[in-house]
Structures are given as structure tokens and as C-alpha cells.
Homo-oligomer: A and B are copies of this chain.
Amino acid sequence: MAHTTYAATRIRGLSVRDIRFPTSLEADGSDAIHPDPDYSCAYVIIYTDTDFKGHGLAFTIGRGNELVVAAVKSLAKVVVGKKLRPIFENFAGTWRELTSESQMRWVGPEKGVLHLAVAAIVNALWDLWARIEHKPLWKLLVDMEPETLVSTIDFRYMEDVLTREEALQMLREMQTGKNNREERMINRGFPAYITSAGWLGYSQEKIERLLKGFISQGWRHFKIKVGQDLEDDKRRCKIVRDVIGEERTLMVDANQKWSVKEAVDWMKELAPYKPRWIEEPTSPDDILGHATIAEALRPLGIKVATGEMCQNRVVFKQLLQAKAIDYCQIDACRLGGVNEVLAVYLMAKKFNVPVCPHAGGVGLCEMVQHLQMWDYICVSGTTKDRIIEYVDHLQEHFKHPRKVVSCHYLAPKIAGYSVEMWEESLMKYEYPYGSEWKKLFSCGKYQDPEASPPPWIEHRTKGKIVYR
């Protein structure tokens, strides 16, 4: 560990920008619950008194992104002005300071807007650390002594399932064979599955055309959206199964559309199309509901997957305890950044549940590839039943986008966490002042938030009372 390289470095500032892409115009990303997402992110840069910067982001789907941006501003004081040594040498403590700020935690805690903001800051800190060490994040994690890695995790509320000592033990046991596994990642990469063919808004012709194209590229696993209309789901599952054949894998995703009973009934109807898993069958908060669904679907050979909306390690802990999930779909910025994601991987290992990360969105593919490679090399030691989601859009905005070749994510080589975006993209898509947004407002495709009066009445502006 080249700790000396950052010993004297101090964080001199942090910037956060509201970046939004008008993806709803093309129905990209549409599902049963989110018909019109504008893929967005709160984009953070941490500036130091050296040339090193850290980039981090939290993905959202449009409106509400302004709240994550505001929360980052409110939390910035926890890290700005601090030296890197106390941050990284007590990273669990720094993480606790961010997640448990004594007043702000009331509007969380460890969930929603506030936790997304923590993720954006924490992810930027990890990017910074990896850059200082001149390593891609996965390699930084892989090269860490087990003691150092475990020191980044806050075990509060997890100890009934995983203690610090157990985590250490797990990591130590996997030291053997690390080099071989690292080599395999560098040579082959990590297997991926594809979701881009399956959005609800896409036509039958578009689905078939996309699927055939993907099959010709060698893809073997496909996920489609379900939950809006049972007859239409059957029809679309049949189309997909007909195109991909019996030997390839179909997964389905309901994006929280159903009640518990509805999920079971609906999936019984889709069972003939042999989906490997049903993703997000019901409320992301319903641990016991997922357990009921998983038990009911087990005899049909349908597994349950969830996690992209799973708010923190405490809920993942219970999903694992209750045997509610067969696949654990961590999200790189729904959880509070890398530290908490590591904790969830370790718990999943203990329960022998494979992690298949949620990706797509903005920057999620870029981030989760690092985490999954670390898992393979240092935790699970296998790719069996493990696969990373892959969605092929918006990568053009990233300076070093993920490379997916032969349906495998290739191990990133550039130092950092791979989320740095082109300054030009940031300038174009900053909401609402970026040049692309100005165009969209002027052609009437979106409403300029500043062109019409807000729906609320302003009482005061800078100390002066302004009633409308």
C-alpha cells in the first residue's frame, strides 16, 4: 500500500452537478413502474490540493435528481477540508460519519435520497484512492490485505450475521489461487447478460430484430420486462423463447409491480416459458413477501432476484436470512458506495447466494464490473451462476467506458472507478442549463422549469418576503 503517496493530501473542495439524459424520448429503460425515465445522475468531483481528483456518481431516473444533488451539498462538509490519511485509514469511520450525520440521519437513515448522496461521495473517494494508487478499483481491492479491506466496512447492524472476524477469515481463505483468478479475469473477463432488447416500450419487430442481432454476437442470457399485462407478457415471453431457443436463458423483471399473491399467480402463468428468475416481483421493502414468493416458485424452478432498490445492508441481510432471494442484485450507488457493497458481497458468500449486479442506467456497468471481478478473485472464486447485467447505451459519455467483448466485461486497465465522464457531456447535459437541455426546451420537447412559475409559492428569497 502506497499510503505515503496520499499522506499529506487534503480535500480542498467538491463539486456536484445535476446531469440528465432525455432517454424518455426513446422509451429506453421503460418498465411497468417507470414508463418514462430520463436516465440521470448526481455527478461528484472531489478536488484535492494535488492533481488527483475523484469522480463519483449516483444514478437516478430524472426528477428527484435535484434532491440527491442537494443532499450531496449538505453532506459535503463531512469530507471537504479533511486529509486523505484519516479518511482512508478509518474508512469505516468516515462512512459512519456520512451515513449517521447526527441531524441529517433523521431524513434517512441509510436510505433513499440521503443514501444515494452518500454513494456519490463515497464512490468519488474510492475513485480518488484508486487513482492515487495508479490502479483500477478492482485491482486496488484485490491487492488489499484482508485487514485493510475489512477496515473499510461498518459492521453495525450486521454482526448477527457476519462479524469482522468471519469476514477476515473468508478473505484469508481465498488468498490461495488469487493470482490464477486474476489472470483469468484479465484474459477472459466476466460474463454478461443483456437487457437492451426487453424494454416494455419496444415493438415486437424491434425486440425480434435486436434479439437476433445479439444472438449472432454470441449472447446467451436475455432479460425482458413483465408485469403490465399478463396476456402481453405471455405473448412476448413466447416471442423471446421462440427466438432464443431452449438452450439460452430468459430472465423476467417486474419492477415491483405486484402484490405477493399476484406475483405468485402471474409467474405460474409465465412458468411454461421457463424464466430463470423473476426480478423485483414486489415491493423492495417486503423481505417476508419475497420469501413467500421464493418458496412458492421454487417447485416451478423459477428463482427470485432482487436488489436494485434494496436500500442498505440491513435489508440485504434479512433477504439472505429469510431465504427470500436466490440472486443478490447489488446496486453500486443504491447502497452507500463501495464500502457497503463489499459488506453485502461478503454476506452473500456466507449464505451461498450468487451476486448478479444491477447495471445499465448511468455508469452502473462501469462500476459493477470492478466489484464483480473483486468478488470472483477474492470472495466467491467462481463465475458459476454469476453474470453482470449489460445495457448498451449512454457509454459514449464516459472517458473509459466498460469494454464488453464476446459477451464478457473486460477487466478495466485505467486507474480509478471508471465513472469519469467527458467534460463536454457534462456541459451538454447539465440540467437545466446544458446546451442539449436548452435545445430540448426551445423545441418544446421538454418544459423549461424556469419558463413557467413554480407550483409553490415562495415566501422568502434572501431574507425578503415574496408572496405571489
Contact among B80, B106, B285, B457 for A314, CB-based, below 8 A: B285
Taken together as a complex, chains A and B put the C-alpha atoms of A160 and B67 apart, in Å, by 33
In-complex Cβ contact of A107 among B13, B68, B317 (8 A):
B68
Beta-carbon contact of A261 and B160 below 8 Å: yes
A286 at the interface (CB under 8 A from B): yes
Given B100, B115, B459, B468, which contacts A430 in the complex, CB threshold below 8 Å? Answer: B459
Q: Which of A66-105 contact B (CB under 8 A)?
A: 66-68, 70-74, 76-77, 80-81, 100-105
Complex contact A103–B456 (CB within 8 A): no
Q: Does A336 lie at the interface of the complex (its beta carbon under 8 Å from any beta carbon of B)?
A: no
Shortest beta-carbon distance from A438 to chain B in Å: 8
Q: How many copies does the complex hold?
A: 2
Query: For the complex, is A420 an interface residue (Cβ under 8 Å from B)?
Result: no
The answer on a CB contact under 8 Å between B259 and A111 is no
Give the residue of B80, B261, B292 whose beta carbon is less than 8 angstroms from that of A456: B80
Q: A73's contact among B100, B454, B460, by CB below 8 Å, is which? A: B454
Is A456 a contact partner of B73 (Cβ separation < 8 A)? yes
Q: Count of chain A residues with Cβ under 8 Å from any Cβ of B? A: 86
A456 near B15: Cβ-Cβ < 8 Å: yes
The answer to the question of A37 belonging to the interface, with a C-beta cut-off of 8 Å to chain B, is yes
* A445-468 at interface with B (beta carbon < 8 Å): 454-460, 462-463, 468
Docked-complex contact B81 and A455, CB < 8 angstroms: yes
- When distances are taken between beta carbons in the complex, the residues of chain B under 8 Å from A38 are 103
Q: Using a CB–CB distance below 8 Å, which chain A residues touch chain B?
A: 13-17, 33-38, 47, 60-68, 70-74, 76-77, 80-81, 100-116, 156-160, 256, 259-261, 282-289, 292, 309, 311-312, 314-315, 317-318, 321-322, 430, 433, 454-460, 462-463, 468
